[in-house]
Structure 1
């Protein structure tokens, strides 16, 4: 399939293009945040040019739907929607925590039975987390997405703990015999997930593509920030 995948849900902007019949995708990663809003579309155009594809040749546009940075999720969704409207192609929203699990599996060359608990830094002293198991070449969620304090992670040490929350919260996470692995929801991971998700009917018209928000509150009040500062 001809696919474009993009993610701006974390501190990294990740883009990848897959062309039917070509084994390795074209990919690009760079700093995310404010950088994404100005550089995302030009980098997408450059990758498509390298793959010799136009937007209307795509079978779908894949994007990291969340959870993640509010601004980043809105950026990825709006770009995916706009491009999909213009090219008249469907959109495939992908769970970013699932993409973290897939990136971890890929790094480890993980086989069937691999269990991954994904973590993404939610800021405000919290983490997004969910758990998955890889069986018969398909991921299955075994613990739904939640927003927690680092100490509240119910990890029993089984499998792999993967994500980007270790630098900020590593000392506050539970110990266990399982592996801790830095992994982000890359666009290439989303390309690997896309065939099964598309086959399962995960694609939607551009107008129906939405970010996944787990947290309703996006910032602390002045009093909350002061209390957090005094507690450290």
Structure 2
């Protein structure tokens, strides 16, 4: 077990190659869980959403068993902090905080949209020195969680901070970049995203747990571990559901828009 008084990146901390890192993200309809150790890496890509709260801990225990490790041997716990589904973020943060407090290790907050960007980079241009991507994830209610990232100098740089956009606002934001667009919003909204013709897209992730694990290792190497008390979610929406009257108003607006075409 690591010495909790020593931050990651200190002389006594394990290197990225030898660190035992547990990572998970439950911000989407898929639950990504990964474990790295000096003798290998193990991942799980399971159904998430409402099932994540019940399935996350058993999946963690299963990966530890496959690796021949116990939780107390983990050096740090990486978690998807969001943005994403309200219940999923609460699950990820609460489990990360509880486990980290229990074994006295730091946590590594990971931007959940950056996981999508990293997966898209490896799908399309793993050897490229530079890669720019607008991540757009379906946030329901005709909105998207979006962020812009650029890969350069062997690491990710945030160009546009994560925010909640209407479809029209996202189209305006995305028009400012000629990079790739990646994320679940592509399949959810299609042409309604308003992307320029011929814009390269990555509609589906290939290996979310592996992308998460790469980011966890990078965060550990950069000394980004923080105290378990700081395992906090990134919420971009205070309101998670519409009232019946609001849903009717949205439906009426959609019908009016269709009739005007």
Q: CA deviation at 1:28?
A: 0.9
Q: Which residue of 2 aligns with 1:12?
A: 30
Q: Which runs of 4+ in 1 moved over 6 A?
A: none
1:146 and 2:163 matched? yes
Alpha carbon RMSD of aligned pairs, Å? 1.6
Q: Which residue of 1 aligns with 2:66?
A: 50
Q: Which residue of 2 aligns with 1:169?
A: 189
**CA distance 1:172–1:124, change in 2 (3 Å):** same
Q: Answer with 1 or 2: which has the greater Rg.
A: 2
Q: Distance in 2 between matches of 1:87 and 1:186?
A: 26
Contact 1:5–1:188 (Cα < 8 Å) also in 2: no
Q: Give the TM-score taking structure 2 as reference length.
A: 0.83
Contact 2:24–2:32 (Cα < 8 Å) also in 1: yes
Contact 2:23–2:216 (Cα < 8 Å) also in 1: no
Q: Which residue of 2 aligns with 1:215?
A: 237
1:127 to 121, 136, 144: 144
SS at 2:174's partner residue? Answer: coil
Deviation sequence 1:151-187 (CA, Å, 0-9, x none): 2222136121001112221211123333111245923
Contact 1:118–1:129 (Cα < 8 Å) also in 2: yes
Q: Which residue of 1 aligns with 2:212?
A: 190
Range with greater deviation from structure 2 (167-176 or 182-191): 182-191
Q: Which residue of 1 aligns with 2:113?
A: 97
Aligned length: 230
Q: CA deviation at 1:227?
A: 0.7
Q: Give the TM-score taking structure 1 as reference length.
A: 0.93
Q: Which residue of 1 aligns with 2:174?
A: 155
Q: Distance in 2 between matches of 1:167 and 1:97?
A: 16
1:106 to 122, 139, 144: 122
